[in-house]
């Protein structure tokens, strides 16, 4: 066994052993433990768990890769995801915690006094969560197949077993304390390579400052100026000014990510685990600090990875390396299929250029940038192994939260809340664990066989949450007039138009007469891409709900008192323990 593989086994399976130990220690003994960790999690610990739950494989693996290739245009992900968390922490979480329910569909059913609203909310939650979880499971399989050199399916299976153990055994209680450990692993794994590379390139150990520093070669050239020069020499747009061509699309994309983030049910559930509204607000503040530790480093990681990648493939303008002399990291990633080379002119050399006619490095998948970055920079093997453990921690932490959201919506909202209202606590806990197991199996299947409309993007999941769950929660908290019928109509319209638009773009033509909606970019609605369409879906949701309300379907007086209880200081509070 080579040194890198040994370090990787130690890092990955050592972290798994830690998760198992925590799960056994924090196993759930009641439904309150399973759904909300009995509401006894402290704000600092909850803030750390929220950060791990929220920073998925998309944040750890994909975001810096997107920034590396999009440059300035990649700021939509920083603004969208971070801004969305602020929306969640200020506009939704404290009020929902004060109301004191276990799940998002339960809150919607209670506020809108509608069984139908609960069912629709569960359906929307499952659609958005399953779409999101596909990316997490794929991230687990890719990390295993690359770093441990096992089959993708085997790696995915190992990840499923790990999640099953601590999620089914511990529920929210086990997941909470496991996510605290996962946050420590992922933040350490993300920042340590960034510190090494920042020192290499600029001599500054702080990546956030290294991004704006001069290079360590004594030239006096700033890192970003050098990167601009390198990418423009290769025919790409200038890194520091590149942005999306359509500003409306950029705005819609940012908005969709923001309100989609605020509507993600697995993150909202984390605020039900603290003992009070004050603790919910405090945990939101701590989580933002913990999130910022990664999000402020991501632009530096993206820029430095792009510079190292370009230099490795083309050390000087016009100087191309022989394919047979390609570096080891290149060979390693070719095996995964995420890096492919096609010698179009048969000269045996690798060229990397924006012009597709001479671009002989055909595919550099953006998702490999963070994982491959330490190897490209020739960092020690233990650092490369640490990144593997961090990527798995990010994917598994979010997957566990999503699976719990799905499980609780089925066992608590459908079975206990609607169909078997006399279900005992013991049987409900068993139902939750069985549902969790089935959800993990389904997630694994989707990871092995991802549907075409969801492959390669998690933005769709945010769009679905933005178009369905977020408007319902906002209207439930800040409107005294929106009724159950209006909320149901709005959710159905919002998620319906979003799914229709995305399916058309991906070529799933189950309704031929609507082919014009999104099949080709030139036919996009006002130039808005399918990944950004959640913002339009949200507008449709709000509009339909308001129209239905205006037509005479108004909320009862009891709902108005409920809104007052949530929003006005000094009103009665429902505690989770008394639910």
Q: What average pLDDT does the structure give for the chain?
A: 79
Residue 554 carries which DSSP code? Answer: B
| Nearest CA among 192, 191, 170, 189 for reference residue 19 | 170
pLDDT bin (cut points 50, 70, 90) of residue 510 is: very low
Q: Left (φ > 0), alpha (ψ -120 to 50) or beta: where does 527 sit?
A: left
Residue 340 has φ and ψ, to the nearest 5°, of -130, 145
When pLDDT is averaged across residues 171-178 and rounded to a whole number, the result is 79
When pLDDT is averaged across residues 185-196 and rounded to a whole number, the result is 91
**Is residue 234 scored above 90 in pLDDT?**
no
Q: Give the model's pLDDT for residue 507.
A: 45
Residue 236 carries which DSSP code? Answer: P
First-last CA distance in the chain = 54
Decide if 456 is inside a domain.
no
398 lies in which domain range? Answer: 3-305+381-449
pLDDT bin (cut points 50, 70, 90) of residue 206 is: very high
Tell me what percent of the residues of the chain surpass a pLDDT of 90. 9
CA-angle at 168, arms to 428 and 394, nearest 5°: 135
CB under 8 Å to 228, separation ≥6 — which residues? 238, 239, 240
Number of domains in the chain: 1
Residue scoring higher pLDDT (459 or 279): 279
Q: Give the model's pLDDT for residue 513.
A: 33
Report d(CA 51, CA 7) in Å as an integer. Answer: 26
| 100-104, 105-109, 126-130, 561-565, range with the lowest pLDDT | 100-104
pLDDT bin (cut points 50, 70, 90) of residue 420 is: low
CATH number at residue 215: 1.10.4160.10
| Nearest CA among 13, 45, 28, 139 for reference residue 399 | 139
Decide if 144 is inside a domain.
yes
CB under 8 Å to 571, separation ≥6 — which residues? 564, 565
| Nearest CA among 80, 88, 86, 87 for reference residue 254 | 80
- Polymer length in residues for the chain: 579
pLDDT bin (cut points 50, 70, 90) of residue 352 is: low
| 89-98, 138-147, 350-359, range with the lowest pLDDT | 350-359
Residue scoring higher pLDDT (76 or 468): 468
Decide if 516 is inside a domain.
no
CB under 8 Å to 565, separation ≥6 — which residues? 98, 99, 571, 572, 573
When pLDDT is averaged across residues 20-36 and rounded to a whole number, the result is 73
Residue 391 has φ and ψ, to the nearest 5°, of -65, -40
Q: Give the model's pLDDT for residue 577.
A: 38
Residue scoring higher pLDDT (5 or 49): 49
Report d(CA 499, CA 317) in Å as an integer. Answer: 45
pLDDT bin (cut points 50, 70, 90) of residue 50 is: confident
Beta carbons within 10 angstroms of residue 142's beta carbon: 24
pTM exceeds 0.75 for this model: yes
Report d(CA 55, CA 49) in Å as an integer. Answer: 10
When pLDDT is averaged across residues 56-81 and rounded to a whole number, the result is 80
Top-confidence range, 47-56, 136-145, 241-250, 524-533: 47-56
Question: DSSP string of 273-342?
Answer: GSSSHHHHHHHHHHHHHHHHHHHTTHHHHHHHHHHHHHHHH-SBTTB--BGGG--HHHHHHHHHTSEE--
pLDDT bin (cut points 50, 70, 90) of residue 519 is: very low
CB under 8 Å to 472, separation ≥6 — which residues? 108, 112, 117, 121, 487, 490, 491, 541
Report d(CA 384, CA 372) in Å as an integer. Answer: 8
Report d(CA 263, CA 105) in Å as an integer. Answer: 12
Q: Give the model's pLDDT for residue 331.
A: 81
Please write the tens of the pLDDT for every residue from 290-319.
988 888 998 999 889 888 887 777 666 666
Q: Give the model's pLDDT for residue 458.
A: 67
């Amino acid at each position: 066994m080579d040194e890198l593989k040994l370090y990787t086994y130690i890092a990955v399976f050592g972290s798994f052993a830690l998760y198992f130990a925590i799960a056994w220690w924090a196993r759930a003994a009641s439904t309150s433990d399973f759904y909300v960790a009995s509401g006894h999690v402290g704000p600092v610990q909850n803030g750390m768990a929220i950060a791990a739950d929220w920073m998925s494989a998309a944040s750890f693996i994909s975001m810096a890769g997107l920034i590396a290739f999009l440059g300035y245009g990649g700021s939509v992900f920083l603004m969208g995801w971070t801004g969305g968390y602020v929306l969640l922490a200020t506009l939704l979480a404290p009020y929902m915690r004060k109301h004191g329910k276990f799940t998002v569909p339960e809150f919607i059913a209670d506020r809108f006094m509608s069984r139908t609203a609960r069912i629709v909310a569960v359906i929307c939650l499952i659609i958005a969560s399953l779409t999101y979880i596909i990316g997490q499971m794929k991230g687990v399989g890719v990390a295993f197949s690359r770093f441990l050199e096992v089959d993708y399916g085997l790696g995915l299976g190992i990840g499923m077993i790990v999640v099953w153990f601590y999620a089914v055994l511990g529920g929210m209680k086990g997941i909470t304390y496991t996510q605290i450990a996962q946050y420590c692993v992922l933040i350490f794994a993300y920042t340590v390579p960034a510190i090494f590379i920042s020192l290499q390139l600029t001599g500054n150990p702080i990546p956030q400052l290294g991004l704006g520093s001069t290079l360590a070669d004594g030239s006096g050239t700033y890192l970003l100026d050098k990167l601009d020069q390198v990418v423009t020499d290769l025919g790409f747009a200038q890194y520091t000014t590149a942005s999306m061509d359509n500003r409306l699309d950029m705005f819609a994309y940012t908005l969709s990510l923001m309100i989609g983030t605020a509507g993600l049910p697995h993150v909202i559930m984390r605020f039900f685990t603290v003992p009070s509204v004050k603790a919910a607000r405090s945990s939101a503040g701590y989580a933002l600090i913990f999130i910022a530790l990664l999000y402020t480093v991501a632009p530096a990681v993206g820029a430095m990875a792009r510079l190292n990648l370009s230099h490795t493939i083309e050390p000087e303008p016009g100087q191309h390396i022989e394919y047979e002399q390609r570096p080891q990291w290149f060979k390693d990633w070719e095996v995964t299929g995420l890096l492919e080379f096609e010698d179009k002119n048969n000269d045996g050399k690798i060229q990397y250029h924006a012009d597709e006619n001479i671009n002989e490095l055909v595919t550099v998948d953006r998702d490999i940038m963070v994982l491959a970055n330490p190897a490209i920079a020739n960092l020690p093997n233990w650092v490369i192994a640490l990144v593997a453990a961090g990527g798995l921690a990010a994917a598994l932490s979010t997957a566990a939260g999503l699976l719990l959201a799905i499980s609780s919506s089925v066992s608590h909202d459908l079975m206990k809340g609607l169909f078997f209202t006399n279900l005992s606590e013991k049987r409900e806990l068993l139902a939750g664990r069985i549902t969790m197991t089935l959800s993990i199996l389904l997630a694994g299947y989707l990871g092995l066989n991802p549907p075409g409309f969801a492959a390669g993007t998690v933005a769709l999941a945010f769009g679905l949450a933005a178009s369905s769950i977020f408007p319902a929660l906002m209207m439930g908290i800040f409107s005294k007039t929106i009724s159950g019928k209006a909320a149901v109509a709005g959710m159905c319209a919002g998620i319906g138009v979003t799914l229709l638009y995305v399916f058309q773009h991906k070529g799933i033509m189950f309704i031929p007469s609507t082919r014009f909606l999104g099949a080709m970019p030139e036919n996009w609605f006002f130039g808005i891409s399918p990944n950004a369409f959640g913002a339009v879906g949200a507008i449709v949701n709000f509009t339909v709900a308001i129209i239905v309300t205006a037509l005479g379907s108004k909320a009862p007086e009891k709902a108005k008192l409920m809104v007052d209880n949530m929003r006005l200081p000094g009103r009665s509070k429902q505690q989770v323990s008394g639910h």
